[in-house]
Structures are given as structure tokens and as C-alpha cells.
Amino acid sequence: MAQTVLITGTGWPYALGFNLVRRYLEHGDTVFATIRRPSEALEDLRRSCPRR
């Protein structure tokens, strides 16, 4: 069953928050990821899963 999650601190590709985003997306969940500064890695991830 898909779920919706909110994860903070997702800007660094080697950090826990970013990797949680990836894991939830791999399982088909909808993710709201927050960051303080723009992150190219997170933007690339967003482009790869535009509807989640």
C-alpha cells in the first residue's frame, strides 16, 4: 500500500534524508522532501520520479 511521507534535510546525496527519499520512491510512495538550499542531486531525483 502506497503512503505519503514528509522528509526534512534531503539536500545532500550521501545523507540519511536523501537516501530515505530514494527508498520511499523505490517502493512507489509519494514523498515531500524539504531542503534549505537548492540541491542538484535532489532535483535530478525529482525529474526521475515526476509524479511522486
Q: Return d(Cα 22, Cα 13) in angstroms, integer.
A: 10
Task: State the 10-residue block means of pLDDT for the chain, 52 residues long.
Answer: 94 94 95 93 91 80
Rounded to 10 degrees, the C-alpha dihedral 46/32/21/9 comes to 110
* Chain segment 25-38, per-residue pLDDT in tens: 999 999 999 999 99
pLDDT of residue 5: 97
pLDDT of residue 16: 96
pLDDT of residue 51: 81
Evaluate if pTM is beyond 0.85: yes
The cell numbers describing 16, all together, are: 540519511
